[in-house]
Amino acid sequence: MSSCCATEIELDARLTLVLPPGVPTPGVVFDLVVDGELREPVVAAEHTLVVLNPVTGAVDARPGEPATVRFRIGERARERRVEIWLPVDASLQLLDVRVPDGASLRPAPASGPLWVHHGSSISQCAEADRPTGTWPALVARSASRSLLNLGLGGECHLDPFMARAIRDLPASVISLELGINVVNGATMRERTFVPALHGFLDTIRDGHPDTPVLIVSPIVCPAAETRPGPTLVDADHRVYTVDRPAELANGALTLTRVRDLLALHVEKRRKAGDGNLHLVDGTTLFGPDDLADFPDGLHPNAAGYALMAERFLPLSFGAGGVFR
């Protein structure tokens, strides 16, 4: 974010987009907010494309040139508050930032208290149609909060480094969308998941002993509700669960079991004195009745993320919400 008296801002960036084969290649979308007003999306056509086949693992990299992205601010008559929202479905290496001669930029104060959120691809929201269309972004803008979204597609596994990062941030509230990657990657069993959960929360509490923390358990995923992972992607880009021998079932995690474990251990911590730790069942945000907005069986589409935001807002920042 910046305060700006320029008529436009230009960014030079190297952009990389990863897609499965057969999916239309979109441009890379940025958002511009000026004095709180959301402008039309700005699309960069230049990018490197990496086509990753989820069935065979084959990779086809198609290098592209760096992009110049131009944001039209308006007349230079006064200073404005400018937010540039970066793409959620592409990696970005920022090369340069420019304003016209005689214009200037300076850092703007935060738009509100800092909300730190961590989760999986369900929080990264690469399927959103624009950066401000992710469910955390929609909630943050509605609640006048400054958002740091640490949603990492496929990489939410209660990693100690992430707990330390959250511990050291000046968060006023924290939310954690947990469980789906652990099941879909089959990276833990019940014996390892429970202590990893407590260790993750203990580390956060070292830096935030009283900060409200809201855990979101997994949203619906029919392929893994009652069958342990791992899940894979078929040629139609839909997820399915791999069969495993019955002898390996003891201690294996399904989404149903993960929700039960999260509820059990959040309640244990609350009874032990952590009254600022809360839980929301992810299926109340996106559940079995919402599958029309669930094209691949794992990720909501843009309409699905808007629905999640609509449901999460009153539970968190609304009157009577856990962050009020």
Report the share of the chain in percent with pLDDT over 70.
Answer: 98
DSSP annotation of 129: S
> What are the strands, taking DSSP E only, across the chain?
2-4, 8-19, 28-34, 37-38, 42-44, 48-52, 59-62, 67-72, 80-85, 90-98, 105-107, 114-119, 146-151, 173-177, 213-216, 231-233, 239-241, 277-280
Mean of pLDDT values over 196-211: 99
CATH hierarchy code of domain 114-317: 3.40.50.1110
Domain boundaries, the chain: 8-98, 114-317
- Pairing between β-strand 213-216 and β-strand 277-280 as defined by DSSP bridges: parallel
CB 224 within 8 A of CB 241: yes
Q: Is a pLDDT exceeding 60 seen at residue 2? A: no
> How many CA atoms does the CB half-sphere of 41 hold within 13 Å?
16
In this predicted model, what pLDDT tens digit does every residue of 67-88 receive, in sequence order? Answer: 999 999 987 768 899 999 999 9
Q: Is a pLDDT exceeding 80 seen at residue 3? A: no
Whole-model pTM?
0.94
- Residue 1's pLDDT is 55
Mean of pLDDT values over 12-19: 95
CB 90 within 8 A of CB 28: yes
CB 239 within 8 A of CB 192: no
Mean pLDDT, the chain, whole residue set: 94
CB 286 within 8 A of CB 299: no
Q: Is a pLDDT exceeding 90 seen at residue 147? A: yes
In this predicted model, what pLDDT tens digit does every residue of 286-310 receive, in sequence order? Answer: 999 999 999 999 999 999 999 999 9
Taking Cα atoms as reference points, which of 317, 288, 318, 291 lies closest to residue 304?
Answer: 291
